[in-house]
């Protein structure tokens, strides 16, 4: 087996793996969308839920700093 054939086979395997993962990712994205829709049907606001999910991903210090800066900006603009 030549070196090019081995490399071609390895490349094909990588591409097929990525394609499977992309399909799995699409399935997970569909599941997430369905969950937001289910929550919406129960009276929850998906837009706010997405913000909460984003905030929960942040380290506590980063989140507190962001909230403090947001408060300063809101105060400067007379919001609240």
Q: Which two tokens stand for residue 54?
A: 């984003």
**Which residues of the chain have a pLDDT value below 70?**
1-4
Name the residue ranges covered by the structural domains of the chain: 3-76
pTM score > 0.75 for this model?
A: no
Specify the pLDDT at position 2: 61
Specify the pLDDT at position 6: 76
Query: Which residue is listed with tokens 């400067």?
Result: 76
Measured distance CA(57)–CA(42) in Å, rounded = 24
pLDDT digits (tens, 9 = 90+) for 37-52: 999 999 999 999 999 9
User: What does the mean pLDDT of the chain come to?
Assistant: 94
């Amino acid at each position: 087996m030549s070196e090019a054939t081995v490399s071609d086979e390895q490349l094909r395997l990588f591409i097929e793996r990525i394609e499977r993962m992309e399909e799995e990712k699409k399935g997970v994205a569909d599941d997430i969308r369905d969950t937001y829709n289910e929550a919406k049907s129960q009276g929850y606001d998906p837009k706010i839920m997405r913000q909460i999910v984003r905030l929960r991903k942040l380290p506590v210090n980063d989140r507190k700093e962001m909230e403090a800066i947001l408060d300063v900006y809101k105060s400067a603009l007379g919001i609240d």
